[in-house]
Amino acid sequence: MADGGGGVKVVGLTKRFGTVAAVDGIDIDMPSGEFFSMVGPSGCGKTTTLRMIAGFERPDEGQILLDGVDVAHVPPHRRSVNTVFQSYALFPHLTVGENVAFGMRYQKVPKVDIRRRVAEVLALVQLKGYEERRTTQLSGGQQQRVALARAIILNPKVLLLDEPLGALDARLRKDLQVELKTLQQELGITFVYVTHDQEEALTMSDRLAVMNGGKVEQVGTPQEVYDAPETRFVAEFLGVSNVLEGVCDGRGGITVGSFGLIAGAGALRESGTLRAVIRPERVVVEATGTSGPNRLPGMIERVVFVGSTSDIRVRLATGELVRSLVANGGAAAISYEQGTPVSVLLPVEGLRILHS
C-alpha cells in the first residue's frame, strides 16, 4: 500500500514547558519503512516528541524532517502523517465502516471507492464484514483495529502510535504486538511507536530509542540495546541487569572487592571506578568451590519459581546481590535452598563495562 517515502529525522529537537526541557536537543533518524519505537519511563519526553512529529506541539528549537523537508512549523493536516491514540477516539454514534471512512469524507472520494477502500482496510486488520456494527459492540482489541484502519485508509507516509495497546489486558496486548508488526510489514510504511513497556519495544521494533529526562540514552536494534547497553539507565530499564561496581585497569580487568574479573565488552579501555553489567540469563550458579576465572563465592539468598525459569538470587562475598535465571528442565540449580554456599560464574563474554 505504501508508495515510498516516510523517512523521519529530528535534529536538535527541543520543547520546553516553562523552565523544564521536556525534550532536550535530541537527534533521531527513522528511515522510511522502519518500525521505530521510543521507549522510556513517564515524563522522559517520548510522547512530547511524538506530538511534535504529528504537529500537535510546536518545537522551541530544532527540525522535523519528513523525507528531507522541515515540517516543524507545518500544520498537522498538511503533514503526511496520521496518529493512533491510546483512547482510540472512535465515534460511538457511527458504525465501524463510517468511523473508518470518516477522513475520506473530506477528500471528495466517490462513495463506491470509499466502500471498496473500507472493505480492503477492514480485511487487512482482520475485521472483514464488520462495516455495519457499532463500535460500542466491539471488544477492546477490535476497537483498536478500527482505530488503526481509520488511520491507514488515508495512506499516510508515517503512522504515529501513542501507546495504542495500553488499555488492553496483558494477553491481548501480546497477541496484538505480533499483529501490529505483521501489519506494518504488509503496509511498508514507517511506524513511530511510543511505549513505556520495554517488552513491546523489544518485540516489535526494527530499532528503538531509549529516552530518559528529555534526552536519548541510546539508539539501536532491540538486540543491540539489550545485549550492549551503553549506560546504567539503559541496562536497568530494558530487562533485568546485575550491576557491579569496581576498579577498572583500562585493559578489560575489573576488581570487585578483592576479586579480579575480566570483561569482554564495553568500555574496556577506560580506567578508574566504573560499573559492569551482566544479564541474569548469562550468570551461572555452580557448586561451591568450583575453580576457574571470573568466579566469585556467594550464598543463595532466595529462589523464586517463575514458571519456565527459576530466579536464583545470590549474595556475593563482596556484598552485592546478583540474579541468575535458570531454565526449569530438571537442572540441579533449582534444588538449591536458601543458605546454600555456591560459586557464581560471570562469563567474560557476558560481562560489559559501562562508560563513565
Domains of the chain: 8-227 (3.40.50.300), 240-353 (2.40.50.140)
Place of cell 471498496: 116
Q: How confident is the model at residue 3 (pLDDT cuts 50, 70, 90)?
A: low
pLDDT at 335: 62
Select the more confidently predicted residue: 144 or 248: 248
**Which residue type is seen at 315?**
R
Over residues 159-191, the pLDDT tens digits come to 999 988 876 777 777 888 888 888 899 889 999
pLDDT above 70 for 333: no
- Residue 77 confidence class, pLDDT cut points 50, 70, 90: confident
pLDDT band, residue 334 (cuts 50/70/90): very low
With a cut of 60, say whether residue 328 has pLDDT above it.
Answer: yes
Q: What is the 3-state secondary structure (H, E, C) of the chain?
A: CCCCCCCEEEEEEEEEECCEEEEEEEEEEECCCCEEEEECCCCCCHHHHHHHHHCCCCCCEEEEEECCEECCCCCHHHCCEEEECCCCCCCCCCEHHHHHHHHHHHCCCCHHHHHHHHHHHHHHCCCCCCCCCEHHHCCHHHHHHHHHHHHHCCCCCEEEEECCCCCCCHHHHHHHHHHHHHHHHHHCCEEEEEECCHHHHHHHCCEEEEEECCEEEEEECHHHHHHCCCCHHHHHHCCCCEEEEEEEECCCEEEECCEEEECCEECCCCEEEEEEEECHHHCEEEECCCCCCCEEEEEEEEEEECCCEEEEEEEECCCCEEEEEEECCCCHHHHCCCCCEEEEECCHHHCEECCC
Band of the pLDDT at 355, cuts 50, 70, 90?
Answer: confident
pLDDT of residue 89: 81
pLDDT band at 4 (very low <50, low <70, confident <90, very high): low
pLDDT confidence of residue 164: 82
